[in-house]
Amino acid sequence: MSSFTPATLSAIQSAAEIIRKCKRGVVLSGAGISTPSGIPDFRSPQTGLWSKIEPLEVASALAFRYDPLRFFEWLRPLATKIITAKPNPAHYAVDHLQKMGYIHTIVTQNIDGLHQKAGSKNVLEVHGTFETMTCVDCYTKVSSQPYIQPYLDYGTIPRCSYCQGILKPDVILFGEQMPYQPWLQAQKASRYCDLMIVAGSSLEVLPVARLPMQAIERGAHLIIINHTPTYLDVRADVVFYDDVSVILPQIVLHLENRARSADLGSV
């Protein structure tokens, strides 16, 4: 931790002390937690996906309905990165915090499944998942597994084995409703948590951006780790404008060192 400025070191210690006193924590993760794993975010000015194309042209419910082939062509490079991505230190840090008993629920805006790959449980995917697909004609839901490799390798459009309708990945497009149960559980977790850690989210996408407000209005602590400012920075206990894959592991390390010192002191 010697490479950090004194201010950052102090913030890491403060964040660790807040977490240490909490038992019903929620992590709200956004695209910034997965960019170190090679998955591009959506809104960065030069590298974000929406800097290259208008989102409503390819990633809306209306666009998919009228031109699903264009959607699959656009999605293929991104899907390749998502399927092959591996969890980074931030994902493992979240999992560690959960195993230590500080974090109960993970609410993620991401569709990459990296929290689960890192070992985390009780992950609420409020923007959908790549794990399943639904037929647009007969609404049959199937596992994506048999269809992924032909799509990635050859661009084969997944089709329903029952009616030959196109299978749409169960990711939420613009103009679609969020999955009901995960969203309901995310709101409940936010209302009853004693801590929320925003990890790599700019808090610009509604309605998810309101979840931290629900938490702090009921007395929860708020820690924000994101490269750019958010609308709730002024309400947060601690704010880091830094890489979440660097900061979160350091917070976990501080917690571990504190616990180890306490154990030695009790001997």
- CA nearest neighbour of 144 among 95, 82, 88: 82
Tokens of 216: 């702090």
Judge if the upstream peptide bond of residue 158 is cis by omega within 30 degrees of 0: no
Q: Are residues 99 and 151 in the same domain?
A: no
pLDDT for 57: 73
What is the per-residue pLDDT across 184-222, written as a single tens digit (0 to 9) for each? 999 999 999 999 999 999 999 889 999 999 999 999 999
- CA nearest neighbour of 41 among 58, 60, 55: 55
Structural domain count of the chain: 2
pLDDT for 52: 59
Query: Which whole number is the average pLDDT over 224-244?
Result: 97
Tokens of 6: 């004194």
Which is more confidently placed, 165 or 264?
A: 165
Q: How many CB atoms lie within 10 A of CB 252?
A: 22
Q: Are residues 230 and 256 in the same domain?
A: yes
- Asked if the model's pLDDT at residue 28 lies above 60, the reply is yes
Tokens of 11: 């913030």
**What three-state secondary structure class fits 182?**
helix
Contact (CB, 8 A) for 189 and 26: yes
What average pLDDT does the chain have? 91
pLDDT for 50: 42
Q: 27-31, 49-53, 103-107, 239-243: lowest mean pLDDT where? A: 49-53
- Asked if the model's pLDDT at residue 232 lies above 90, the reply is yes
Tokens of 90: 């931030």
Of 91, 96, 104, 127, the catalytic one is 127
> Which CATH number do you get for residue 76?
3.30.1600.10
Confidence of residue 55 (pLDDT cuts 50, 70, 90): low
- Determine the Cα–Cα distance for residues 232 and 202; give it in Å rounded to an integer: 10
- CA nearest neighbour of 80 among 160, 150, 168: 150
Query: Which whole number is the average pLDDT over 114-124?
Result: 97
- Determine the Cα–Cα distance for residues 191 and 233; give it in Å rounded to an integer: 19
Q: Are residues 153 and 206 in the same domain?
A: no
- Please name the residue ranges forming H helices in 5-158: 6-20, 55-58, 61-66, 68-84, 89-99, 114-117, 145-154
pLDDT for 260: 73
Q: Are residues 241 and 197 in the same domain?
A: yes
Range of the domain at 201: 1-39+87-127+178-267
- Determine the Cα–Cα distance for residues 160 and 181; give it in Å rounded to an integer: 25
In the sheet with 141-143, reading across from the earlier edge strand, the strands are 141-143, 128-135, 167-171
Q: Are residues 106 and 234 in the same domain?
A: yes
Q: Are residues 10 and 67 in the same domain?
A: no
Query: Which whole number is the average pLDDT over 8-26?
Result: 96
Distances from the Cα of 4 to the Cα of 15, 226, 245, angstroms: 15, 16, 14
pLDDT for 38: 93
Confidence of residue 48 (pLDDT cuts 50, 70, 90): very low
**127 among known catalytic residues:** yes
The answer to whether the pTM exceeds 0.85 is: yes
Q: Are residues 266 and 145 in the same domain?
A: no
pLDDT for 58: 75
> Which CATH number do you get for residue 102?
3.40.50.1220
Based on the number of CB atoms within 10 Å of its own CB, is 234 exposed (0-12), middle (13-18) or buried (19 or more)? Answer: exposed
Domain edge (last residue) among 171, 188, 204: 171
Confidence of residue 22 (pLDDT cuts 50, 70, 90): very high
Q: Are residues 33 and 46 in the same domain?
A: no
Tokens of 56: 């409503």
Residues across the chain = 267
Q: Are residues 27 and 135 in the same domain?
A: no
Tokens of 1: 């931790």
% of the chain with per-residue pLDDT over 90: 79
Helix or strand (DSSP H, E) at 206: none
For the CA atoms of 108, 109, 110, 111, the dihedral, rounded to the nearest 10 degrees, stands at 100
Confidence of residue 43 (pLDDT cuts 50, 70, 90): low
pLDDT for 208: 96
- CA nearest neighbour of 152 among 171, 172, 130: 130
Contact (CB, 8 A) for 227 and 246: no
- The two beta strands, 128-135 and 167-171, are antiparallel
Q: Are residues 236 and 153 in the same domain?
A: no
